[in-house]
Amino acid sequence: MKGHFIAKSNLSKSPGSVFPDANKSMQRLRYLFLHDLSVEQLTITLTLWLTSKLSKVNSENPVPEFVRLRASDPIRPNSYRIIKEGGDESWVEFSIQTQIQKKNVLFWQPAPRAFNQLFWQALRHKSYNKPIIPDKEKNQLSQFLTSSLTRFPEQQNIPIAHKTAWNNYITHCAHKDAQLNALAKASLITEKKLAYGSSCYYIATTTRHLRRDNYQAYNRYINRLLSAAKKEGISAFTNENDPYHDTDPLLNKNASEAGYLNREANTIPIVIIKNQVITEDEGVYVGTRRRVSTDQASRWLQTLNLELANIRPKSRKPVTTQLIAYHNLLTHIIAIHLITYCGCRPTHAISPAKGAIGLSSMCLRDKGKARIINFPRHIKVYIAHYRQHLQLIYSRFGVLHTENEPLLFLLNTSGKKEFLTAKSLRRFTAASSNAHVPYHFRKAYAQSLFEVGCPTHIFNRLMGHSQYGEQFGQLTQYAYDQQQDQVWTNRVAEYLGGPQETLC
């Protein structure tokens, strides 16, 4: 594939890009309801669609067998369960099997609000651990899903989404959704197809959080289709012609929700009901384990600041060994702060060139490309203090330092300049931070961005993540983007607590 096609493909998957056409996708959804499918067949079709497995159904891979489980049964692939946790509302959950960080993850996902009534009607009278539909209906459904589109009179001369586009509707929406974090995207898209797959290796969460993130995302994507149908005056998603059911819509985005779905702000509890006793599962831990917690990072940085204050020279002409020790610790502290509060990569250029630092940001050569990094307020103070401190170092040791050289450097026992490297920084953190490595603090920065709710496109920009075709040149940045980057940089500094002890 040529470069500009790769660029176009990557950009189309970027958060904030244009979502799939709602009218065309809505007409494809309407086509399912106009066809002579049972509620059970509709439920299975929509479940495959939600889990992005509809495209896998073909002559060699027919529709898989779905079963209903009890609320207390262990989860397994291609299964449903009905939760009734207080109140009158029952809610259907279906199993999602995905791969995150090359590990298989299986969890219960609450059905989207608009689909719950349909799913419940299909499952409420079904026996446990038995196929939802018999083989005959399953074969009919496989033939329908693999057959060509046959238009109904109501859809003549109306644009309908292509089968491939429709099958990947959820995937396309998830790619472009700036509100959805990388781990939630990976659970809906699979990590291999994720535009920014490396982000999954920086943050961590639990399946309780994934359930909430995915539930809200599903609702957003389906509401687009139902809003388009309402705008067109379409009511083909009802069962009003069925004499055995009432006239309530089968798809209703305003349906009342079960209580447990809104009990917590950021998670949906995993409810287990056995012998009428309700318990909750903590869920499965998902994401990186190789990181220092935000609390640990904040406490360690405060400890370093106190240590620096203790060895700071008090006289105008300090002892050489004392001045060198102070300078080296100050250099290491600022480097760790640039990693923890700004997301610099410790394995690449840790320090910017002396002449590439502005009042509120700096330009760093990162993976061979220019990258703008914004400073939180205390980093500005640290840089100013370090520049002032260097005047003493220049005069005392006769150090020559040009504008093109990195700002941060160390001194050996003889007072000779040695540039800060990833290896020397790693030795420093190993000796003083409980054997953590510098990259753990970059992951603490990523986790802080994740926990304060940073949108995915800003998250990727602040982390310096990119793929071929997505870099337009980081030196050219819109004022609004610069402002937003600064806002989230300041929020991370506040979230981590910020330094309580200054260097001055």
pLDDT, residue 2, reads: 53
- Which residue type sits at 69? L
**Is residue 382 classed as helix, strand or coil in its secondary structure?**
helix
Higher-pLDDT residue of 81 and 498 is 81
Taking the mean position of all CA atoms in its chain, how far away is CA 308?
37
Find out whether 465 and 196 touch, Cβ atoms under 8 Å.
yes
Task: Give 261's DSSP letter.
Answer: G
DSSP H or E run through 97: strand 91-100
Flag whether pLDDT at 6 surpasses 80. Answer: no
Residue 501 clears pLDDT 60, i.e. is over it: no
CA distances 405 to 316, 356, 359, 382, 414, Å, are 27, 10, 18, 19, 20
Q: Which two tokens stand for residue 343?
A: 């997301």
The full DSSP string for 429-453 is HHHHTTT--HHHHHHHHHHHHHHTT
Q: Give the DSSP H/E element, type plus range, for residue 14.
A: none
Which position has the higher pLDDT, 1 or 251? 251
pLDDT at residue 325 greater than cutoff 90: yes
Lowest mean pLDDT among 87-91, 98-102, 205-209, 228-232: 87-91
pLDDT band of 80, cuts 50, 70, 90:
very high
More confident residue, 412 or 294: 412
Is residue 12 over pLDDT 80? no
pLDDT higher than 90, residue 317:
no
Averaged over 148-157, what is the pLDDT? 82
Average pLDDT, the chain: 85
Residues 6+ apart with CB under 8 A from 336: 301, 304, 425, 429, 438, 441
**Mean pLDDT, to the nearest integer, of 435-452?**
89
Q: Residue 268 in contact with residue 257, Cβ under 8 Å? A: no
* H or E stretch at 420: none
- Kindly state the DSSP code that residue 316 receives in the 8-state scheme: S
Mean pLDDT of 125-145: 92
Residue type, 464: G
Question: Long-range CB contacts (< 8 A, 24+ apart) of 69-72?
Answer: 69/128, 69/129, 70/128, 71/271, 71/272, 71/273, 71/274, 72/272, 72/273, 72/274, 72/275
Token pair of 307 as six digits = 């240590």
Distance CA 470, CA 462 (A): 14
Say whether pLDDT at 247 is over 70: no
- Band the pLDDT of 467: cuts 50, 70, 90: low
Pair of tokens at residue 229: 């149908």
- Predicted model pTM: 0.86
What's the average model confidence in pLDDT over 324-336? Answer: 93
Instruction: Tell me: pLDDT of 186 over 80.
Output: yes
pLDDT at residue 4 in the model? 56
pLDDT band at 469 (very low <50, low <70, confident <90, very high): very low
pLDDT for 301: 85
Which of 3, 251, 272, 246 has the alpha carbon at shortest distance from 113?
251
How deeply is 51 buried, as exposed, middle or buried, from its count of CB atoms within 10 A (0-12, 13-18, 19+)?
A: buried
Dihedral sign from CA coordinates of 299, 302, 308, 314: negative
Task: Identify which has the larger pLDDT, 73 or 239.
Answer: 73
Residues 256-274 have a mean pLDDT of: 87
Q: Which of 132, 92, 87 is nearest to 113 (CA)?
A: 92
State both tokens at 394. 């220049």
- Asked if 346 and 378 touch (Cβ cutoff 8 Å), the reply is no
Residue 260 has pLDDT above 70, yes or no: yes
How far, in Å, CA of 47 to CA of 95, rounded?
A: 9
Residue environment code for 201-230, b if the CB has 16+ CB neighbours within 10 A, otherwise e? bbbbbbbbbbbbbbbbbbbebbbbbbebbe
Separation of alpha carbons 284 and 289, rounded Å:
13
Q: Output the pLDDT for position 170.
A: 94
- Looking at residue 357, the DSSP 8-state letter turns out to be B
Banded model confidence at residue 91, pLDDT cuts 50, 70, 90 = very high
Structure tokens at 337: 């702060």
CA-nearest of 250, 238, 228 to 20 is 228
Say if residues 439 and 334 touch (Cβ distance below 8 Å): no
* Adjacent-strand bridge partners of 45: none
Q: In this predicted structure, what is the pLDDT of residue 10?
A: 63
pLDDT of residue 359: 80
Predicted local distance difference test score (pLDDT) of residue 239: 47
pLDDT at 368 over 90: no
Quick one: tokens of 321? Answer: 């060994």
Could you give the CA distance from residue 420 to residue 214 in angstroms, rounded to a whole number?
A: 43
Find the mean pLDDT for residues 449-464. 88
SS3 365: strand
Which of 333, 436, 443 minimizes the C-alpha distance to 385? 333
- Rounded-to-5 percentages of helix, strand, coil across the chain: 45, 15, 40
Q: Which of 314, 504, 302, 332 is nearest to 411 (CA)?
A: 332
